[in-house]
């Protein structure tokens, strides 16, 4: 009968005596483990080493929570402290990368997933009425031309060598076939769909959050009334443009066009709807979205800008009238989230930016309240591979201002955005005397600490702003966390 097993006959338990050498080995292991815990604890307490931004995730990390009697007694301070500690741990990103490399030794992290992913809520059907939904109908796919704006002298500060080849703007032809081969090797990694050399962020419709977003935009338009015109721009994700319907169905993905039509159809008449989906679809064979990052490219943003100009009744600048610069070697947020697969690393993106004619000067206010002189398009040639998207408008700041000296009519707009708006903003510079940019994730706290607590609507009225452009991507428009930020920013 084996040791360490109860003897049913004699009622005895026999144990095997552990050799002294093994006991010593156990003690050494416990000691080493304890030392390791202490070392990691001490590293975590080194506050000067704690990062404030994540290059990999393209966001500002959680700030140290403010202590108050209410937050102390209800326990929220300690919950926020725990979040801060975990989010800003000095070695966090290195350990995540190391874990990803370790996992990659075992091949694909998951099998290709086909048809067994739980989808989102069903998008309610919307009866399309051409008379009511004039923003939706664009039968021939063309943006009606109006008179071209007069050209101004282009900025002359050096940024990077200009691009000589003019991007193909399309000709309003029928929608081309989806450019992605559905039979290419694919896999799911960290809730991303990887096929070939491209990663796709996925979206699943949420009815309650969609309605909440609509209520926020409608409420802002009602609050501002005749003081300002509110525009809504919701950017689709790349999969809705590049993947054919059968591939989307296999993943139970939400039909983005259907979701966008629902969102816009629920908005009031005093909200200008910038429905850019069809214009993007017409150009789906072009470089509209990054392969390694969740953002659209400047070209993708340009096609949304065209539709915005149509809604506003102005002529868009032609890309041939703007100076283009490029920054190669970009590996974005999806590359990091997917644990840096070789398929993406071997084919990095190129960030292409278009410099406004009127000015390339910008001023922003950071979260600490500092006023910083910057550029609309910055030279990021020497920046890290994960930071190239920072070429646009100084990244994500609470407030930025751009003043075009060539326009003196007092016109102004404010773009209320998350990072999807960064490469859209430069196109507006040649249409307004002043362009303000508010990141709804950071403006409220900044204003509370450094701007006498001024609310967003107070800011709009004080500056005499004509147009308020609420711009985000479809995920943020139905994300509880980001809706909380937006609510906190634009609601009284």
- Indicate whether 60 and 196 sit together in one domain: no
Residue 300 included in any domain = yes
DSSP state of 328: E
- Indicate whether 222 and 321 sit together in one domain: yes
Cα angle, residue 42 at apex, residues 67 and 97 outer, rounded to 5°: 95
- Indicate whether 191 and 59 sit together in one domain: no
Query: H/E element holding 28?
Result: helix 20-44
Residue 244 included in any domain = yes
Residue 261 included in any domain = yes
Domain end (from 53, 73, 104): 104
Percentage with pLDDT > 70 across the chain: 70
Q: Is the pLDDT of residue 314 over 60?
A: yes
Domain end (from 61, 87, 104): 104
Range of the domain at 52: 6-104
- Indicate whether 232 and 94 sit together in one domain: no
Tokens of 354: 């278009």
The beta-strand segments (E) located in 420-474 are 434-439, 467-473
Residue 92 included in any domain = yes
Judged by DSSP in three states, 415 sits in strand
Residue 419 included in any domain = yes
- Indicate whether 55 and 193 sit together in one domain: no
pLDDT tens digits, residue range 166-189? Answer: 333 333 456 777 777 676 667 777
pLDDT tens digits, residue range 23-67? Answer: 677 777 778 878 877 776 676 666 566 676 665 555 566 677 777
Residue 158 included in any domain = no
Sign of the alpha-carbon dihedral angle for 417, 298, 368, 373: negative
Q: How many H-runs (helices) and E-runs (strands) does the chain carry? A: 16, 17
* pLDDT reported for residue 179: 74
How many structural domains does the chain have? 2
- Indicate whether 193 and 55 sit together in one domain: no
Report pTM.
0.75
CA–CA distance from 415 to each of 11, 69, 423, 427, 466 (Å)?
80, 36, 12, 12, 11
* pLDDT reported for residue 87: 63
- Indicate whether 460 and 352 sit together in one domain: yes
Q: Is the pLDDT of residue 425 over 80?
A: yes
Residue 162 included in any domain = no
Residue 199 included in any domain = yes
Q: Crossing angle for the helix pair 207-224 and 480-490, nearest 10 degrees?
A: 10
Domain end (from 44, 69, 104): 104
Kindly calculate the radius of gyration of the chain based on its CA atoms and give it in whole angstroms: 26
């Amino acid at each position: 009968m084996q040791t360490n097993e109860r003897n049913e006959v004699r009622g005895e338990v026999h144990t095997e005596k552990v050799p002294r050498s093994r006991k010593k080995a156990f003690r050494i292991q416990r000691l080493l483990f304890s030392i390791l815990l202490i070392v990691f604890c001490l590293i975590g307490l080194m506050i000067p080493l704690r990062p404030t931004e994540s290059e990999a995730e393209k966001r500002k990390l959680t700030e140290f929570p403010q202590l108050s009697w209410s937050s102390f007694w209800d326990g929220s301070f300690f919950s926020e402290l725990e979040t801060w500690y975990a989010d800003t741990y000095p070695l966090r990103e290195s350990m995540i990368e190391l874990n990803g490399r370790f996992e990659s030794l075992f091949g694909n992290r998951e099998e290709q997933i086909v048809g067994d992913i739980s989808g989102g809520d069903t998008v309610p059907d919307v009866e399309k009425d051409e008379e009511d939904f004039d923003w939706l109908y664009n039968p021939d796919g063309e943006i009606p031309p109006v008179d071209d704006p007069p050209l101004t002298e282009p900025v002359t500060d050096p940024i990077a060598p200009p691009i000589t080849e003019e991007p193909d703007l399309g000709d309003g032809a029928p929608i081309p076939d989806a450019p992605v081969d559905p039979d290419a090797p694919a896999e799911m990694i960290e809730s991303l769909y990887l096929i070939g050399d491209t990663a796709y962020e996925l979206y699943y419709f949420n009815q309650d959050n969609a309605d909440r977003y609509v209520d926020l935009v409608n409420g802002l338009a009602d609050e501002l009334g005749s003081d300002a015109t509110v525009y809504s721009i919701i950017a689709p994700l790349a999969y809705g443009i590049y993947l054919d319907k059968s591939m989307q169905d296999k993943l139970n993905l939400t039909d983005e066009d259907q979701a966008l039509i629902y969102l816009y159809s629920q908005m009031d008449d005093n909200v200008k709807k910038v429905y850019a989906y069809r214009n993007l679809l017409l150009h789906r064979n072009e470089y509209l979205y990054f392969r390694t990052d969740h953002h659209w490219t400047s070209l993708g943003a340009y096609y949304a800008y065209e539709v915005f100009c149509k809604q506003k009744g102005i002529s868009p600048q032609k890309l041939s009238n703007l100076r283009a610069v490029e920054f190669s070697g970009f590996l974005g947020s999806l590359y990091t989230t997917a644990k840096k697969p070789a398929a993406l690393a071997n084919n990095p993106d190129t960030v292409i930016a278009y410099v406004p004619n009127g000015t390339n000067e910008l001023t922003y206010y950071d979260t600490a309240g500092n006023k910083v002189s910057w550029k609309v398009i910055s030279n990021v040639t020497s920046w890290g591979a994960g930071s190239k998207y920072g070429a646009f408008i100084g990244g994500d700041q609470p407030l930025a201002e751009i003043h075009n000296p060539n326009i003196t009519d007092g016109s102004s707009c404010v773009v209320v955005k998350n990072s999807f708006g960064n490469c859209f903003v430069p196109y507006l510079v040649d249409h307004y005397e002043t362009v303000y940019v508010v990141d709804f994730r950071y403006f409220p706290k900044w204003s509370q600490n450094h701007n006498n607590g001024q609310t967003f609507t107070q800011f709009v009225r004080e500056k005499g702003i004509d147009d308020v452009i609420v711009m985000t991507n479809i995920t943020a428009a139905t994300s509880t966390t980001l809706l909380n930020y937006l609510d906190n920013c634009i609601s009284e």
